[in-house]
Structure 1
């Protein structure tokens, strides 16, 4: 297998986490990083041993040696940056939320298909081994017939600019609520009959915390909670008529406990050792490139669009509007 030269657009904390990840991976090279500030890019490149540092995103995208570009800018910028990558035939791993709204997501994916360029959403939980194990346990009937799911995610991040500003597509939903929606989708599927929700908005008009309930046509129900004010336990519980699964940290599952109908823990499944957990999405992107795929089977384009539409519907019901809408 060839060594893939990775480029990163953006130099924030999430870019640093990806840089750390790449340093521990095989068949990848920390090749180039770009910022709107050349000085910031050079500092980042020096700290994380990247070969190239660019003072504009366009320069990195046009570098002929870059094999895959990871987009680590705010949600509001994903559309333009991914679009530029596609128009320059550069494969894209785009951080979640994929775009600010479903219209942008559909435009991007149609463009990628037209230009035959690989692109996938970097929603890391979709690619993790333990996420696959959870599905296997349910399909094998480990908890009998599943009926309810609860999941929460919350971090104290209300002071972060990218979270509170509508023009950056801020709010709890696109940053962390998206994980609860994906957890429910990976576990209970997409056959949703009804969705109800309520949110408490910030002074800037974005969603600060919310409760979302999904009702499925087969009788299942998912209760989801996200907050930018509270550090929650991040637990997920999937309950059936013969037991339940307890997932430690739905954002980066560390263990899954299987509990029987007598409330006895009968098995514990642990996540394999990881660098950060980001490596799985990078390896999935490389797998797709090696096979000539335009999307990853772990996060199909149709699922990205479906969840973006779901979040659009939620924001509309809350009156949370972005300038790009």
Structure 2
């Protein structure tokens, strides 16, 4: 039986605004009517900013401090939309206060922090999920079904790119905010190849161009798998990338336009002729699927959503730790 989940948003930036829009649309959609409510927004030290955000998105309650939100027994779940460096500590803080948490990607800045978050989730029995929308979207199942059909044969290699010029964003260029392309956009092509490439990673070959401040501006990473297959990942906050994901097989190719939020999936045969172009379902915003899985996990008493279990977040964090190790890149909080 469905029950209402009151959601509070921690933070009031761009990504918080998208989640607010999403939950408001979900609450008016017959698929989720009566199941989710955008109840509150909290900022760290600005009640004026919180109240402005609340007015814009018709939110019942605004808090000018995080503690006020933690003390409110009517908050069931918190969406954490703050800078990367705060995610782990805030997720633990919320679970200690009895709140389920959906944490914007990356869940933490490294595997050690992520492990502490999941230990708290298991200790409290509260649901904790990483909000990386690619993992939850219906396009994931569409692509997997194509692979499982055998139409492209055996997967031999993959590649994915996600790059945007973002030098003007303060959080991107500052090491103290765990800036750089990897955690912000590189996490998407890494997840894309990891969803569909079978087997474990046996070797990583990666290089990056670091800024004067010490953040990764541009990087190229090759993952070599136990069976000899490979996947290439390119990411940057300096250039305009093609955003394309490629899955290559012995009989054909799957080309995905916009690997972090697929807009088109095209299957080509050995002659490069299009043989399939499946329709991608209409989205409210694309964030609804991660919220839906959190609602399901909470209602069933599970500590993790099905599409992004804790082990997978840990695997991604560990890979990114190893990639940064090759670059000699540590964030100030790790030193």
Q: Normalised by the shorter chain, which TM-score bucket? A: over 0.9
The structure-2 alpha-carbon separation of the partners of 1:189 and 1:71, relative to structure 1 and needing over 3 Å to count, comes to: farther
In the alignment, is the contact (CA less than 8 A) between 1:206 and 1:321 conserved in 2?
A: no
Structure 1 runs, 4 residues or longer, greater than 4 Å off = none
Give me the CA root mean square deviation.
1.0
- For residues 8-50 of structure 1, give each alpha carbon's deviation from its aligned partner in whole angstroms, at most 9, with x where no partner exists: 0000000001111111103321110000211111111111111
Q: TM-score, normalised by structure 2?
A: 0.95
Contact 1:30 1:50 in 2 (8 A): yes
CA distance in 2, matches of 1:139, 1:43: 48
Are 1:32 and 2:33 counterparts?
no
Gaps of 5+ in 1: none
Are 1:90 and 2:99 matched, yes or no? yes
State the Cα distance separating 1:62 from its structure 2 match.
Answer: 2.2
For 1:190 and 1:13, locate their aligned partners in 2 and report how far apart those are by CA, in whole Å.
Answer: 36
Q: Which residue of 1 aligns with 2:184?
A: 175
Q: How far 1:129 sits from its partner (Å)?
A: 0.4
Is the aligned partner of 1:206 residue 2:206? no
User: Is 2:199–2:226's contact at 8 Å kept on the other side of the alignment?
Assistant: no
Return the alpha-carbon distance in structure 1 between the equivalents of residues 41 and 279 of structure 2: 34
Paired position in structure 1 for 2:258: 249
Partners of 1:61 and 1:262 lie apart in 2 by: 59
Secondary structure in 1 matching 2:217: strand
CA contact (8 A) 1:130 1:270 kept: no
- Gap runs ≥5 in structure 2: 27-31
SS of equivalent residue, structure 2 residue 91: helix
Distance 1:280 1:158 in 2: 30
Which digits, 9 at most, give the CA deviation of each residue in 1:289-316, with x for residues without a partner? 1111111120110111111111111112
Residue 298 of structure 1 pairs with residue 299 of structure 2: no
Aligned to 1:165: 174
Aligned to 1:116: 125
Quote the Cα distance in structure 2 between the aligned partners of 1:21 and 1:211: 33
Q: For residue 257 of structure 1, give the secondary structure of its aligned residue in structure 2.
A: strand
- Taking a change above 3 Å as real, the CA distance of residues 273 and 47 of structure 1, as seen in their structure-2 partners, is same
Post-superposition Cα deviations, 1:64-111, rounded to whole Å, max 9, x if no partner, equal 111211000000000111011111111000000110111110111111
Q: Which residue of 2 aligns with 1:312?
A: 321
Deviates more, 1:301-310 or 1:189-198: 189-198
- Find 1:145's aligned residue among 154, 166, 179: 154
Counterpart pick for 2:277 among 249, 268, 277: 268
**Deviation per residue, 1:114-156 (Å, 9 max, x gap):** 1111101001100000112111211221200110111100111
Aligned partner of 1:9 in structure 2 is 10
Tell me if the contact between 1:152 and 1:233 (Cα under 8 Å) persists in the aligned partners: yes
Mapped to 2, the partners of 1:320 and 1:24 lie a distance apart of 40
Residue 190 (structure 1) shift = 4.8
Q: 1:266 to 1:162 in 2, by over 3 A?
A: same
What's the counterpart of residue 247 of structure 2? 238
CA offset at residue 2 of structure 1? 1.8
Contact 1:288 1:295 in 2 (8 A): yes
Q: Is 1:68 aligned to residue 69 of structure 2?
A: no
Residues paired across the two proteins, number: 325
Give the deviation of 1:189 after TM superposition.
3.4
